[in-house]
Structure formats: C-alpha cells, structure tokens
Amino acid sequence: MRWRTVVGVGLGMPLAVAEAVALVAVWPPRARRRVLGALGRAEAARFGRWLDRPATAGAASEPGFLAARAAAGLLGGYLVAAVLFVALLLLGGGGWAALTGASETLPLTLPGVRILTTDAIVGITAGLGGLALTSGMVLGLGNVERRIADGLLGPDERERMRRRIAELTTTRSGVVAVIDEERRRIERDLHDGVQQRGVALAMLLGRARHTADRAAAADLVDRAYTEARDLIEEIREVAWRIYPTALDELGLHAALAGVAERSAIPVSVHYRLTTRPAPEVETALYFVAREAITNAVKHAGTGDVLVVVEETAGSVSLAVSDDGCGGADKKGAGLRGLAHRVAALDGAFEVSSPPGGPTRVQATLPV
C-alpha cells in the first residue's frame, strides 16, 4: 500500500500545478469549468486508484477542493523535491568520492568520543537518511491529501457503510430496549389495574353467591356490575395505550384526537398533512406525541399542550410544546426510547427543555 501512496502522491504533484494554473489563469468561466471538470475526473481516478479513497468526479471538480489540493500539492511537492534533491546530492557526492578515492578523512568529535571517518561515508549516510525522510514525507503528504478529501468531499463509501452499520447496531439495541420497557409497562398496567379489578369482581360475585340475604346479595351484584364496567374501561385504556385501532383505521389525526380527548389537560392538535404517511411513520409519530403529552401532564405542571403535525421538504414533522416548568431529562427512559424509535426510521429527534420551560419535543421523519 505504501508504494501505491508514493505513486499517487507523485502523480498529484503535476496535477497540483495544473490545478493552480486553472484556478488562477483560465478564463472565461465556461472554459474554466471544463478544465476543472477534467481535473476533477483526474483527481477522482487518482484518489480511487492510488490513494484508496474513492471520490466522485463531480465533487472533486469543486473549486474549494481543488484549491486546497493544489496548495497541499505545491507546498508538499516543493518540500519533498527539495529534501530529495539534497539527499541525492549527498548520496551521489559521497558515492563518487568513495569510488574515485577522493574522499578525505573527517574527524568527528563527540562528548567523550573521537571518531575518524571520511566525508564519503558521511555523505552516503546523510543521503540515505534524506531518502528515508523523503519517503516519510511522501507518506505523510498522502495522509494529508486523504484528510483533505474527507473534510471537503465527505466520508467515502467505506466510511459511510461503517457509520451506517454502527448506527443500525445502536438503533437495534435501542429498539429492543424500548420493546422490553413497553412490555414491562404493559405488565404493570395489567397487574396494578386490570388484575386488581378482576380480583375485586371475583370477590364480590363470590360473596353474593354465598350470602343468604337477598338484599345484601343484590347490593353485591350491583357493586360487581359497577366493577365490571370499570374493568372494561380499564381494559380499553390499556389496549389504547398499547396500540389504538384508530391509528390503522382512521389514521394519525384521529389517533391524536383520541389522545387529546383522554388527556387530563387541554391538548390542541393542528394537523396539516394532506396525505397519510406510511404506517410505520404514523406509528412512530403517534408514540412520540403520546409520550410527550403524558410527560407534560405528569411532570411539567402545564396548563395546555400544543401538537403540530406538518410536512416540510419531503419529511413529516411532529412538534409537541408546553409552557410548563421544563427541565425534561433527555436521557430518561421515555425520551431515550423515542429517540431510538425515530432513529430506526432514519429520522431526527430533538428535545428543548430549559429549566423554567418551555418544553418542545420534535420528531422529523422522511416520507
């Protein structure tokens, strides 16, 4: 790989001269664009073939990239050429002196040591050192060029793939954690609500069955009837919190209206979409809205909540705002779970909640 870098850097030096001339001297703009396009194609081929850094010809034709590349190529090329020239001069002079016997004795005095050598040996040694330094400078210049490409052309295909894999791995772990947390919450709802009401209902019916007093039995049956109605309502609430059927049947607008209707504080929903998003987008936005409204009711001490759903630049955005006390914990399980859910769909999730408020939770998903 090192020899490929050497070839790539060597080819880049004359290209740097051509790029500098094109950027400064070529006119009119139309001709300049054609020349820069040709130089961009040459740079893309050089980076991909010799520097193991794929680049598109269009991006490599940008004047900013070519200007940075020309500056690095000219400065680096001058330094490399200067060191190489001196190294070859020393190596050639020392070698010629050694071959012709024209070398002279050269005493070297070091602290505590005195060495007798010849100017030929010193020249050859210094020349070899210069060649090694030149090699290191060429490899360093190759790394500089790769960094310029990374900074101005963006990450290459391999880096984008690595980042994508890392993002998907993190998102997958986050989604699994969200699912586990949802299961625990459902279990708590069933245990603390539905199960307790079911036990109370069974006890009332059992007492009514075993009592001999008809009036007492009738009263117990009436109480059991009331408990059964409360149990049905509790089951409906749990089912709604798990996944509302209105989301599939009527869409996101109806589901958000249901959340607003069930909220303990006023919730205003401004729905500005003209078409329904994909089901997975609707589901993610629904859960973001529901969790944000629940947090506002429980922790913010707010008087009302505003939900705005709109479409901008090929994406759907949902924002939930309240005028409560703020200070929402962005690393809490609820908000962290929402962030993972949105990231799984290549969306963006933002939370703004300074102490004292207001709080704004926004999710943006591609359509």
62-109 tens-digit pLDDT: 899 999 999 999 999 999 999 999 999 999 988 888 888 777 887 777
Checking if the pLDDT of 178 tops 80, the result is no
> In three state form, how does the secondary structure of the chain look?
CHHHHHHHHHHHHHHHHHHHHHHHHCCCHHHHHHHHHHHHHHHHHHHHHHCCCCCCHHHHCCHHHHHHHHHHHHHHHHHHHHHHHHHHHHHHHHHHHHHHCCCCEEEEEECCEEEEEEHHHHHHHHHHHHHHHHHHHHHHHHHHHHHHHHHHHCCCHHHHHHHHHHHHHHHHHHHHHHHHHHHHHHHHHHHHHHHHHHHHHHHHHHHHHHCCCHHHHHHHHHHHHHHHHHHHHHHHHHHHHHCCHHHHHCCHHHHHHHHHHHCCCCEEEEECCCCCCCHHHHHHHHHHHHHHHHHHHHHHCCCCEEEEEEEECCEEEEEEEECCCCCCCCCCHHHHHHHHHHHCCCCEEEEECCCCCCEEEEEEEEC
Q: Which of 32-41, 170-179, 184-193, 257-266 has the lowest mean pLDDT?
A: 170-179
The partner residues of 351 in beta bridges, in order of sequence, read 361
- Would you state the pLDDT for residue 156? 62
- Specify the 3-state DSSP secondary structure of 339: helix
Measured torsion, CA atoms of residues 287, 293, 297, 301, in degrees rounded to the nearest 10: 140
pLDDT band (50, 70, 90) for residue 220: confident
What is the reported pTM? 0.51
Residue 72 contacts residue 145 (beta carbons within 8 Å): yes
- Cβ within 8 Å of residue 112, ≥6 positions away: none
- Would you state the pLDDT for residue 89? 93
Residue 231 contacts residue 237 (beta carbons within 8 Å): no
Which is higher by pLDDT, 189 or 328?
328
Q: Which CATH architecture has domain 250-366?
A: 2-Layer Sandwich (3.30)
Q: Which of 57-66, 181-190, 300-309 has the lowest mean pLDDT?
A: 181-190
- Would you state the pLDDT for residue 279? 87
For the chain, list the strands marked E by DSSP: 105-110, 113-118, 267-271, 305-312, 315-322, 348-352, 359-366
The partner residues of 362 in beta bridges, in order of sequence, read 319, 350
- Would you state the pLDDT for residue 68? 93
The partner residues of 113 in beta bridges, in order of sequence, read 110
Checking if the pLDDT of 296 tops 70, the result is yes
| Highest mean pLDDT, choosing among 78-82, 165-169, 201-205, 311-315 | 78-82
**C-alpha–C-alpha distance, residues 78 and 58, integer Å:** 28
pLDDT one-digit tens code per residue, 238-268:
766 677 777 888 889 998 998 888 888 889 9
pLDDT one-digit tens code per residue, 312-327:
878 999 999 988 888 8
* Average pLDDT across the chain, whole number: 84
Checking if the pLDDT of 360 tops 70, the result is yes
Instruction: Name the phi and psi angles at 51, rounded to 5.
Output: -110, 5
DSSP single-letter state for residue 297: I
Residue 335 contacts residue 329 (beta carbons within 8 Å): yes
- Would you state the pLDDT for residue 174? 62
Which is higher by pLDDT, 319 or 199?
319
- Would you state the pLDDT for residue 179? 66
- Would you state the pLDDT for residue 172? 67
Checking if the pLDDT of 299 tops 70, the result is yes
Question: Domain residues of the chain, as ranges?
Answer: 2-154, 174-242, 250-366
pLDDT one-digit tens code per residue, 132-146:
999 999 999 999 998
Percent of the chain at pLDDT above 90?
Answer: 29
- Would you state the pLDDT for residue 57? 78
- Would you state the pLDDT for residue 316? 93
- Would you state the pLDDT for residue 329? 78
Which is higher by pLDDT, 11 or 199?
11
Residue 342 contacts residue 348 (beta carbons within 8 Å): yes
**C-alpha–C-alpha distance, residues 74 and 89, integer Å:** 22
pLDDT band (50, 70, 90) for residue 354: confident
**C-alpha–C-alpha distance, residues 256 and 305, integer Å:** 12
- Would you state the pLDDT for residue 139? 93
